Structure 1
Amino acid sequence: MQANAVEDLLTSMQTAKGTPAVWETAAAFFDACGFDRIIYLDMGPGRDRVMATMPDAWMAHYTERNLARIDPFMRYCAASLMPVGTGVDYLEEHSYLDPRERGFIREAAETGFRSGMSCMIRVKGPMGAAGWNLGSTMPRHQLEKVFARQGDVIRLAAHFSHEKLAQSDGAAETARVELSPRETECLHWLAAGLRTKEIADRMGIRPITVELHLRNARTKLGAQTREQALARAIAAGLLAV
Structure 2
Amino acid sequence: MAKSQSYKGLINKSNEICMFTIENYNIVSKQKKAIFNWSSGKDSALTLYKILQNPEYKIEYLLTSVNQQFQRISMHGVRVELLESQSKSIGIPLKILQIPEMPSMEVYENVMTETLTELKNEGITHSVFGDIFLEDLRKYREDQLARIGFEGVFPIWKIPTQNLIQEFITLGFKTIVVCVNERYLDKSFVGRIIDQDFINDLPDNVDVCGENGEFHTFTFDGPIFSEPINFEIGEIVYRKYEKSGNEDTSNTACDTNTDDPFNFGFWYCDLIPKN
TM-score over 0.5 for the pair: no
TM-score category, normalised to shorter length = under 0.3
Bigger share in strand: 2
Bigger share in helix: 1
